[in-house]
Chains A and B, each alone.
Chain A
Amino acid sequence: MKRNGPLSRLFILLVFLFLYAPIFVLIVFSFNDSKSNAVWGGFTLDWYVQLFQNDTVLSALRTTLLVSFLATLIATVVGTAAAIGFYNMKRRPRGILLGINNIPLTNADIITGVSMMLLFVFAGQALASLSGWLNNLEWVIDANLWFDLDFNLGFGTLLIAHITFDIPYVILSVMPKLRQLDPNIAEAAQDLGATSLYAFRKVVLPEIMPGVVNGALIAFTMSIDDFVISYFTAGSQESTLSMVVYSMVRRRVSPEINALSTLMFVAVLVLLVVINLRQGHQDAKEAKRRKALGAPTIAPESIMDITTENVGREPSER
């Protein structure tokens, strides 16, 4: 293909300016020695100090990381298993299940959030009335038992919601790898005496590992960045970072927020650059070994393969 001329380069530059201008302004003003967001009042690091004394922000950060990590872990295991199960199904049931699997992806976040909130609240009330009914039963009274079945929105519901919207990404990321898999290999391993579990661990898993890792990365990203679904399902006890930011930006805006976004930006930048460098390095030298080990690839294709499949069509042939 032809290279880009100066005009197209300029266009690229302008779009990047649009994408990054707000972020850079936030970063600059995180060092501003004034509460104002418009007037420069000198250099300071106070906002960073205050940020780290802010319990609300820190505990929200903890909740966010914990929920994202656990949700990713569970979603990756359950999702990979489900993908393999789906793959082995007949065409028709597989199509139906994949269709349902697509619901959280294609539905608006707000509907996913609201519907889960209604379900949780409904389940909580049903359980409460169930325990009320149980407590009036004669044998329960005789046995001196007291049922206190109840649950409220909280960490548990938050985690369930995150797992629910994470799993589809894992499945969509593992499925293509399964399709590429030669079914004869696993059979060959079994013919040579491997148990099916051993064959899975030694033969299948390494082959689909890049898909699993990509799925996990996408799931983690989605969890970390989610606001809407958490907002509806977290209840009164837990706040994720996004929820804290939301309540902060709707009140008086504190430059601590700028400090927070700067730190997040730098963390992500460093992470990506390191991964990218490592990957480039490996690409050049040990591409083969890396493939065998199934090292993480955070290549742009990972998310894009998902997005192309999002509408339920096959990804275009390579």
Chain B
Amino acid sequence: MKSKGIAIPYVVWMAVFVVAPLVVVVVYAFTNRDWSVTLDHFTTLGQYAGVFGRSFLLAFVATIVCILIGYPLAYFLARERGRLRGMAMLLIMLPMWMNFLLRTYSWVFLLERNGFFNNLLSAIGLPKLDIINTSGAVVLGMVYNFLPFMVLPIFSVIEKIDPRVIEAAQDLGADSATVFRRITFPLSLPGVLSGITMVFIPSVSTFVISRLLGGGKTLLLGDLIEMQFLGSAYNPHLGSAISLVMMVIVLICMGVMNRFGEGEGEAVLL
């Protein structure tokens, strides 16, 4: 039981399959097709500023929407009775076990000009909406796919809040708004923060959602990277450079957020 040695296989595994691949990406990012060292990929990144901006903006919007929907949902569900609550959590997780491509595709099918939704609209005499192949459709796809990742951690944190803490606050005269503001919300922040991570990172790097729902027009960072490796403009060196920059920006964002979140959480707790 005291042996540390049984971790060795995995440490080796991590070195080979986690660390080494990232080293390879760095090598690719700083070299040319003929393997000469270059910084060109980084100096020309400026021309992709629009894509970076758009990806981060859309992922940000999707994350905010996920919080706005996911937080109340988690909060309400945590207040439900045991049986209903168990059922509801099951229903939240159920779609996660279905193929996410199929789920995303079903939105194509719902939103197309002559799709289900528009047929419904015209059947009741309303004009058709062109939602598909817009940024809005891409955000919708992100929210739809990643909402459970926001709800689950928030729910888990709220659920674990000791009811006696809340009762104590109420006994001391706090109304429900104050209880929420001073106790429930601060205590649920860690859940919100991990929810943000779990929604933002896949959103900013997706290429499937933008491809299926954005019609190849709303190119995101994921598309740009995929394009350089298996897509229509082969250049793994540039692709690696873009991946690297994206990774660093995301890490910085997450680091800042967690630091900020921790400070906040502690301040309120004190």
Per the CB under 8 Å rule, do A and B touch in the complex? yes
Give A residues with C-beta under 8 Å from B: 1-4, 8-9, 11-12, 15-16, 18-23, 25-26, 29, 37-39, 78-79, 81-82, 84-86, 88-89, 97, 100-101, 103-104, 106-112, 114-119, 122, 160-161, 163-164, 167, 183, 186-187, 190, 196, 199-200, 204, 221, 224-225, 227-228, 231-232, 241-242, 245-246, 249-250, 253, 257, 260-261, 264-265, 268-269, 272-273, 276, 280, 300-301, 303-305, 307-313, 316-318
Q: Is the CB of A88 within 8 A of B205?
A: no
* A304-B1 contact in complex given A100-B18, A108-B202, A316-B160, C-beta closer than 8 Å: no
- Shortest distance in angstroms between B229's beta carbon and chain A's nearest beta carbon? 6
Which A residues are in CB contact (< 8 Å) with B240? 114, 118
The docked-state distance in angstroms from the alpha carbon of A84 to that of B9 is 12
What secondary structure prevails in chain A residues at the interface with B?
helix
Which residues of B (71-88) have their CB < 8 Å from a CB of A?
72-73, 76-81, 86, 88
List residues of chain B with CB within 8 A of the CB of A304. Answer: 152-153, 155-156
Q: Give the dominant DSSP class at B's interface.
A: helix
Q: A1-B79, A22-B144 are in contact. Are A313 and B258 (CB under 8 A)?
A: yes
User: What residue in chain B is nearest A16 (Cβ atoms)?
Assistant: B91
Query: Given the complex, which residues of B lie within 8 Å of A310, measured CB to CB?
Result: 153, 194, 197-198
| B121: interface (CB < 8 Å) | no
Chain B residues whose CB sits within 8 angstroms of the CB of A186 once the complex forms: 1
Give the chain B neighbours of A2 by CB distance below 8 A: 79, 176
Residues of chain B contacted by A84 (CB below 8 angstroms): 1, 3, 6-7
A73 → chain B closest CB, angstroms: 14
Number of residues from B at the complex interface, CB < 8 A = 103
Determine if A12 and B229 form an interchain contact, defined as CB atoms under 8 angstroms apart. Answer: no
Binary per-residue interface labels of chain B (143-160) against chain A in the complex, 1 for a CB within 8 Å, 0 otherwise = 010010100110111001
| Closest A residue, CB atoms, query B77 | A12
B79 and A265 contact, CB distance less than 8 A: no
* Known contacts A38-B119, A249-B108: A308-B100 contact under CB 8 Å: no
Write out the residue numbers on chain B whose beta carbons fall within 8 Å of the beta carbon of A111. Answer: 25, 205, 225, 243, 246-247
A12 to B103, CA, bound (A): 20
Is B13 engaged at the interface, CB distance under 8 Å to the other chain? yes
Bound Cα distance from A207 to B258, whole angstroms: 32
Q: Which A residue's beta carbon lies closest to that of B188?
A: A316
Given contacts A109-B202, A114-B25, A227-B208, contact A25 B116 (CB under 8 A): yes
The 4 closest A-B pairs by CB, nearest first: A85-B7, A304-B156, A108-B205, A115-B21
Q: B102 contacts A257, CB within 8 Å?
A: yes
Cβ A228 vs Cβ B73 within 8 A: no
Using CB atoms and an 8 Å cutoff, list the residues of chain B in contact with chain A: 1-11, 13-14, 17-22, 24-25, 28, 69, 72-73, 76-81, 86, 88-103, 105-110, 112, 114-116, 119, 144, 147, 149, 152-153, 155-157, 160, 163, 166, 176, 187, 190-191, 193-195, 197-198, 201-202, 204-205, 207-208, 211-212, 222, 225-226, 229-230, 236, 239-240, 243, 246-247, 250-251, 254, 258, 262
How far apart sit A254 and B176, CA to CA, in the bound complex (Å)?
A: 52
Check B98–A78 contact: CB distance below 8 A.
no
Q: Which of B114, B229, B230, B258 contacts A311 (CB 8 A)?
A: B258
A-B contact list, 8 entries, CB within 8 Å:
A3-B81, A12-B77, A23-B106, A108-B247, A111-B205, A111-B246, A114-B225, A250-B212
Give chain A residues whose Cβ lies under 8 Å from the Cβ of B106. 22-23, 25-26, 261
Residue contact A97 to B102, C-beta cutoff 8 Å: no
**A74–B195 CA distance with the chains assembled, in angstroms:** 28
Residues of A contacting B207 in the complex (Cβ-Cβ under 8 angstroms): 110, 228
State whether A260 touches B102 (Cβ < 8 A).
yes
User: Assuming the A-B contacts A111-B247, A118-B21, A164-B13, are A4 and B99 also in contact, with contact meaning beta carbons closer than 8 angstroms in the complex?
Assistant: no
Which of A22, A97, A245, A317 has its CB near the most chain B CB atoms (within 10 A)?
A: A22
Nearest CB of chain B from residue A120's CB, rounded to whole Å: 9
Supposing A82-B11, A111-B243, A164-B18 touch, asked if A225 and B100 sit within 8 A by C-beta, the answer is yes
Cα–Cα distance between A272 and B95 once the two chains are bound (Å): 12
Q: Does B7 contact A305, Cβ atoms closer than 8 Å?
A: no
Beta-carbon contact of B9 and A81 below 8 Å:
yes
The residue that B89 contacts in the complex, of A79, A122, A300, A307, with Cβ under 8 A, is A300
Further 4 A-B residue pairs, CB within 8 A, beyond A82-B10, A190-B1, A310-B197: A79-B10, A84-B7, A249-B105, A307-B198
**For the complex, what is the distance from the CA of A160 to the CA of B17, rounded to whole Å?**
8
Q: Which residues of B contact A272 (CB under 8 A)?
A: 90, 93-94, 97
CB distance from B73 to the nearest CB of A (A): 5
